[in-house]
Structure 1
């Protein structure tokens, strides 16, 4: 290549080497950080770095497109002007700063979620107020920005001393000469967009290895690109008639209960006298099963919940459907399997769904979603307010009611105290009530009021878990003094686990959560060890109320003798059915795998891959394809009964 052309291309080459070098260092740091959970061998290490370098290269090719275009059309007479010199040096420093900042961000994201950037990171970019506030409260930002700046200045100084930029600014190539190399740079992202997916990273049975093979920047691009996934386009499908037949068999063994041919509407008949017990549901942020000693987990973190479990109906083999709060909300209120891509809570077409809120409201209940944060986050207020609930969020708290808060919301004590007031209002209005209470204290920065527990605030998740446990214990004590207590069922359940990453695609231990139903005047204490899911919560509670109703729920009454044990769970892309000690996993690109659970504990799950069992495959497909089809057709909506 001609020397003058080479000089102008050298600047783009510089950008590539900067990012590729910083990304390689980042990958190495994350590898060392996770060395105890990786499969380490020469072949595995080579795959991590070579595949990772490929994705790093592709992601940087997207990033340089604007500057390639700038270099093509910038006349050579302006290249060495003062303004362009200023732009070039400023742009170079910003590139370096951005790359180093991205590396630090990846460390903290990995530390929190054990994965590269994904949909969560996309959401974080959308809800900047909460996220920036959380970062400020969680980390010493002044120190971190100073360190990032010093590293960036050092790298910039080295580049400056090499005369790389000065040589570039002296370039005198013509537009015709510039077009040839520029076209090569522009073709890389075009080809990559058409032919490169994250599937190329899946070369190991260890998910941590696969995550390290990814590029954080490319994963962020991919998350934006694949915000929603059409089931029919990306997953294994069956004929619609077969899907509906199999789905009905999976949901209800009584085929005569179904009222319509083309959906899952069915009649739930209960011959007993109906009750109007109040329901107070406390959905606890990130309450993994491993935090409860009564589930075989850590000792001393949840003394109040462990004590309540002994006096309650305690579900010990219970699973979350997903890894985000909105997944838990979706599953509990709508009794739906997790959909690929975005949760229903965050989709624009989520009004007037077949929601438990409407069922309760039309039976005279006051239904409230009570949240300590601002409910615009994750579209919560919009979802609940259009699906049978009124909303009480942080904007409704007075200064006296808000005694302590973080960026995510008021502390759990304040939230639960306000929930008591809302229950009192319903009681005085002679209305039965259902409160859906979403906590926030068990969330980074893990801050809470001093003097409540023996773990100092802002020292980690263990303290936040113990504080939430304390707040629930105080709430129950106060509730016992209320006239409505004896007629109330208290449901305590997690939205999801504290961590979702594991060596396998869908690690069961990262979905295992507690569910407690405490009602000493109504229910006898007992342990329920049936495999069940968040989608079964409301059908089970309606069964406790002896209600007959028309249902479009995918879940069922766990206490029924006809209940068929299974759990549905997924990530944004992987969809799982856990049944009969086997796990079926549906993946994009129309792939399916079947595993047998060899060993399951509260901290780890071991699988072995087995041949596909057709009846399990058909059931898994029927749940997810059926839910997708009915949602597209609008057949999962509520009609007055």
Structure 2
């Protein structure tokens, strides 16, 4: 039976092909997993029904652009060489992508027993490793040749069946084309509004959930939602036991829990006289501890910070939680262990969380986030603006969804002496911080500022004539300019009336590089932190291993604050403090104690290592059950609290 003459015969043919191939893939994966799946007859029917809905949505999304092309293509061009070449090429490309994605799904399922998710999204960040791995794991020339051969065969068969001829020789009136296009757009809109990937995740049988999904749909969903579900991929324990362990780890002599069960919400008390200074936190882009002479560098690129270190409360054994700016922001505002996938800063439903902003707000402080670029990048403005911070950034985008209940102030052109792709130079950021502090002081308002610098970032450009290393010559120059700008900032504020009552925290968001010979390179998470100008406190060094999560609980302890806390951080100076740190990649979750490390990874895996002093090299060792218990307690409870709303204030 040949197709009827219809301009949409190629599109309809592709949709039918996609649904057929996707159903065959689902059948194959079901047969592959059937011995372990434990599926009921009803469960099998359900997964095919849901799978068909997801597949139809993908097919409609994928062919929408072609439908619009067919709508606007004049009838006189329908049988031209241009349209025939365009249609054949488009069909061939669509089939090629489809077959390749289905091949990829089999390899992904074999590794993770899941459809595409954030692990697949994560692979986009590591193209060299992924391509090398594929090349070493599979006969790539044969695989590519097979995909091309199958695509060519399907295209030839479609042509033999008359599908292309039916489209080229058809006469489909504009009104009918418009009606079909409107119907398709409506179906896609309904799919977007009514169907989400979570629809497949009902029930308790994980195989049924995964087989219900469509790989491409799951991939896009994971990309949009920035999440790798802990409860699906990582080692889980009984939730009640996890929170009992976590509460025991957070318990201190001056704290009392305010809620029972799955909660870490508690009150921190102090009987000494409270001090309430202003606080400016300077978060330095990509600043490894080993840039500083204090930590062994001989390059003399941080003379200012090395001088400040001698006058500050210096954390000498502090670790970043991750390898990206948004991960550092998460740790420094929410003080929570990193959850797998993307940082909470980039996630949906991240507004109104309990954070440092909550604590400072209750104490009457104004809070401002300063960023040299456009805070639209990495969802910064949405996160900070919906968690109590005013915004001061370099406006380049204003989108429909860019709204939050706080004030946004833009860097004026007259306030910018230098900027590059990432934003204004550090000196310009500090000038804005000073102007804001002057205004707050004049109004009698204490303030807490989160300042995110950008100059220590590729392309490593900065104003000429400031330091002895020319701009755009490499990382050392960017580090030295970053250091210079901090010195200029301190010189400008030391005569300000608010300076004596202002604590300045200098801390890195993450290291300059995390690459190494181990999956997690422990030394590549070591960052400096200096708490400068603390009222009534002499300079000291804190050598205990700790995390970005612990900076503010320690500072608030030094200031003798009474406050409610939902933070995972602890006061490092407390006599009961037990040294530990959380370090992570997108997939690997590390729990570090002096000399030992647990790494949690997908497929419910856990590995135990000895960390060699100095080098940070890892050596596999027998599982440390006590350390594993602590690791799971931290990571599982943090994921649970974010998912069930327990992080909200």
Name the TM tier (shorter chain).
Answer: 0.5 to 0.7
Shift of 1:600: 3.2
Please give the secondary structure, in 1, of the residue aligned with 2:564: strand
User: 2 CA distance for matches of 1:552 and 1:598?
Assistant: 34
The reply to whether residue 595 of structure 1 matches residue 613 of structure 2 is: no
Q: Is the 8 A contact 2:337 2:634 kept in 1?
A: yes
Structure 1: unaligned runs, 5 residues or longer: 1-61, 97-115, 124-164, 177-192, 196-216
Please give the secondary structure, in 2, of the residue aligned with 1:316: strand
Q: 1:270 to 1:394 in 2, by over 3 A?
A: same
Q: Is the 8 A contact 2:371 2:394 kept in 1?
A: yes
Find the counterpart in structure 2 of residue 570 from structure 1: 584
Find the counterpart in structure 2 of residue 526 from structure 1: 540
Find the counterpart in structure 2 of residue 606 from structure 1: 617
Find the counterpart in structure 2 of residue 443 from structure 1: 457
The reply to whether residue 260 of structure 1 matches residue 259 of structure 2 is: yes
Q: Which whole-Å deviations, capped at 9, do the CAs of 1:470-495 have from their partners, x for residues lacking one? A: 10111011111111111111100001
Shift of 1:255: 9.9
Find the counterpart in structure 1 of residue 365 from structure 2: 365
Shift of 1:297: 2.8
The reply to whether residue 411 of structure 1 matches residue 425 of structure 2 is: yes
Structure 2: unaligned runs, 5 residues or longer: 1-57, 71-77, 97-118, 127-151, 164-208, 396-409
* More off after superposition, 615-624 vs 226-235: 226-235
Q: Is the 8 A contact 2:322 2:510 kept in 1?
A: yes
User: 2 CA distance for matches of 1:577 and 1:281?
Assistant: 26
Q: Is the 8 A contact 2:254 2:270 kept in 1?
A: no
Q: Is the 8 A contact 2:589 2:599 kept in 1?
A: yes
User: 2 CA distance for matches of 1:634 and 1:329?
Assistant: 20
Q: 1:264 to 1:171 in 2, by over 3 A?
A: closer
Q: How does 1:361-510 map to 2 (within 5 A)?
A: 361-395=361-395, 396-510=410-524
Q: 1:92 to 1:306 in 2, by over 3 A?
A: farther
Find the counterpart in structure 2 of residue 626 from structure 1: 637
Q: Is the 8 A contact 1:248 1:255 kept in 2?
A: no
Q: Is the 8 A contact 2:425 2:462 kept in 1?
A: yes
Find the counterpart in structure 2 of residue 317 from structure 1: 317
Please give the secondary structure, in 2, of the residue aligned with 1:491: strand
Q: Which whole-Å deviations, capped at 9, do the CAs of 1:542-586 have from their partners, x for residues lacking one? A: 112110111111001112222221001211111110013111111
User: 1 CA distance for matches of 2:351 and 2:225?
Assistant: 23
Please give the secondary structure, in 1, of the residue aligned with 2:329: helix
Structure 1 length-normalised TM: 0.67
Find the counterpart in structure 2 of residue 516 from structure 1: 530
User: 2 CA distance for matches of 1:615 and 1:491?
Assistant: 34
Query: Aligned-pair RMSD on alpha carbons?
Result: 3.8
Structure 2 length-normalised TM: 0.66
Q: 1:230 to 1:520 in 2, by over 3 A?
A: closer
Q: How does 1:14-413 map to 2 (within 5 A)?
A: 81-85=81-85, 119=122, 173-174=160-161, 224=223, 227-254=226-253, 257-262=256-261, 263-395=263-395, 396-413=410-427
Q: What is the aligned residue count?
A: 473
* More off after superposition, 446-455 vs 226-235: 226-235
User: 2 CA distance for matches of 1:520 and 1:615?
Assistant: 37
Q: Which whole-Å deviations, capped at 9, do the CAs of 1:437-465 have from their partners, x for residues lacking one? A: 00011111111100111111111221111
Shift of 1:388: 2.2
Shift of 1:89: 7.7
Q: Is the 8 A contact 1:267 1:550 kept in 2?
A: yes
Shift of 1:259: 2.3
Q: Is the 8 A contact 1:355 1:388 kept in 2?
A: no
Q: Which whole-Å deviations, capped at 9, do the CAs of 1:125-171 have from their partners, x for residues lacking one? A: xxxxxxxxxxxxxxxxxxxxxxxxxxxxxxxxxxxxxxxx9xx9999
Q: Which whole-Å deviations, capped at 9, do the CAs of 1:503-536 have from their partners, x for residues lacking one? A: 1121111111000111176421111111011111
Q: Is the 8 A contact 2:227 2:347 kept in 1?
A: no
Q: 1:276 to 1:256 in 2, by over 3 A?
A: closer
Find the counterpart in structure 2 of residue 44 from structure 1: none
Please give the secondary structure, in 1, of the residue aligned with 2:617: strand
User: 1 CA distance for matches of 2:534 and 2:430?
Assistant: 20
Q: 1:267 to 1:402 in 2, by over 3 A?
A: same
User: 2 CA distance for matches of 1:565 and 1:362?
Assistant: 30
Shift of 1:432: 1.6
Q: 1:221 to 1:629 in 2, by over 3 A?
A: closer
Find the counterpart in structure 2 of residue 127 from structure 1: none
Q: 1:598 to 1:433 in 2, by over 3 A?
A: same
Q: Which whole-Å deviations, capped at 9, do the CAs of 1:107-136 have from their partners, x for residues lacking one? A: xxxxxxxxx99659679xxxxxxxxxxxxx
Larger C-alpha radius of gyration, 1 or 2? 2
Shift of 1:80: 10
Q: 1:261 to 1:170 in 2, by over 3 A?
A: closer
User: 2 CA distance for matches of 1:281 and 1:557?
Assistant: 18
Please give the secondary structure, in 2, of the residue aligned with 1:257: strand
Q: Is the 8 A contact 1:333 1:538 kept in 2?
A: no
Please give the secondary structure, in 1, of the residue aligned with 2:281: strand
